[in-house]
Each structure stands twice: as C-alpha cells, then as structure tokens.
Amino acid sequence: MFSNYKSASTRFIGLLLALVFTLNQGFGFAPKREFYQVKIYHLKDNSQKERLETYLKQAYLPALHRAGIGKIGVFTPADADSLVYMLIPFKSIDQFMGLPETLAKDKQYASAGQDYLETAFDKPVYKGFESILMESFAGMPSMIVPKLNAPASERIYELRRYEAATEKLHENKISQFNNGELEIFRRLGFNTVFCGQVKVGGKQPSMMYMTSFDNKTERDAHWKAFSADPAWKTLNALPEYAHNFLRADIYLLHPTAYSEI
C-alpha cells in the first residue's frame, strides 16, 4: 500500500511540475528585462584618453566585475579619437542605482582608480561625459555577445539612435521591432547586441540598438540585403508603422582591446 501511495505521489509531483512549466511557457512569465547604461566620454587630447583608458582597464572594469556586472563593452569611433563609448548591462534598476555605493565601499577600486578619482580640478581626465539609461525591449530582453571572426581592429559595432516626433510614435517603433524587425535582423545575421528604450538622458523620446559585423564591407552588404528583403518591405509598408521615427543617428565603432563585447 505504501509503495502504491509513493508511486501516486511521484506521479502527482511530476504532473504538477509539468503544469507549472506549461503555464510559464504559455501564459507569459517573460524573461526579466535588463537595463543598459551608455556612457560617452568626451576627451580633449591623447593624454586624457590614455589616463581614461588606464582607469577603465585597471580600476573601473575590475570593480564592475566585483559588483557582479560583466559583458562590458568599450568602443571608440571609427572616425574620431576624442570619444570613448561604454556599454554596461545591469540585471535590474536596483543594481544600477546601488552601483555608486558599491564602488564607494570598494578599497581596491579607490586605490587603482586614484588618478581618476582624486584628479585636480585643473587636470581632469575628460572634458565631460554623457550618461544614457535604457530598458531592454520585450523582444530582446537580454544582451547577446556576438561571435565574430575578424580581428578586433576590423570589427564594426553599429550603434543607432532613433528619435520619434511623439511618445506614441516612439512606442510604435518599438512595437515594430518587437513584432517583426528584430526577427528579420536575426534571420539576416545582424548579430544584434542589445535594443533599449531610453528612460533617462539625452534626446527623447528615443531608442538605441547595436548590431555588429566582422568588417565595414560586411556591414554594408547586410544593410543592402535588409533594404531588399521582402519581409522588411512588407513590414515597413504597413500603414500602422508610418512615420514612427523622425531621425536616425548612426555611430560606427571599433572595440578596444579590452572590450568584453
């Protein structure tokens, strides 16, 4: 009798677990969405750039790792030496908000980053920096590190920012991404790194996303294929997606030697 009871109990637990799995799959317990910070440092000369990169390599990135933050991207523009871009993924808004306090308690960070943290007012490490906070799209809730084959110096990371005329049209453009455009990117091999809706900072309403390619020639070929793709032509011709962005800013970036993306 006990063995029969045990067998029935085991079957019940199995059925219960199967039901939970089905509910999770079918009723939308969606993956948790990440947050992204893009920091853009503006530099006046090579001295500032060298000091900033020393700080990033020796102090900031190691401290972010100790804080449980990985997959950090560091990039420079293909056509300028006066900017450094950082892409930092956060698991939650609380992790982002708590980072300054975490860093303040990190003695290794204070020691390794002393030149940056304690620099004199007349010898700054940068002219200034921008900070943009984003929440990932429902259609791409987590960052994906691309698998590229070319040397880092040849790789192109394309960062785009789309501005819209109104909040409603902005939400409409995100809907277009979530309901077809992202899938076309996947099918055509755009190696999308992230997609984020800007929540704080800069020009709004806007969204940003990053794609990646082995080189500039491959990048150009992919966009040519995208423009000619029948699915994209059909999606973009739908009247409900008309006029859903006002302008697009395009930044072509190379990863630094110490970038993790």
**Alpha-carbon torsion 100, 102, 105, 106, what sign?**
negative
The distance of Cα 28 from the centroid of its chain, to the nearest Å, equals 23
Helix (H, G, I), strand (E, B) or coil at 91: coil
Q: What is the pLDDT of residue 79?
A: 84
Q: What is the pLDDT of residue 80?
A: 82
Question: Dihedrals φ, ψ of 153, to 5°?
Answer: -65, -20
Q: What is the pLDDT of residue 197?
A: 98
Q: How far apart are CA 207 and CA 209, in angstroms?
A: 7
Task: Please state whether the predicted TM-score (pTM) of the whole model is above 0.85.
Answer: yes
Residue tagged 């491959």 (tokens): 218
Q: What is the pLDDT of residue 191?
A: 98
Strand 128-136 vs strand 83-90: parallel, antiparallel, or unpaired?
Answer: unpaired
Q: What is the pLDDT of residue 244?
A: 97
Which residues of 178-246 form beta strands (DSSP E)? 194-200, 206-213
Q: What are the mean pLDDT values of the chain's consecutive 10-residue runs (261 residues total)?
A: 44 41 50 96 97 98 98 93 96 98 98 98 97 98 97 97 98 98 98 98 94 98 98 98 97 97 95
Q: How far apart are CA 116 and CA 137, in angstroms?
A: 34
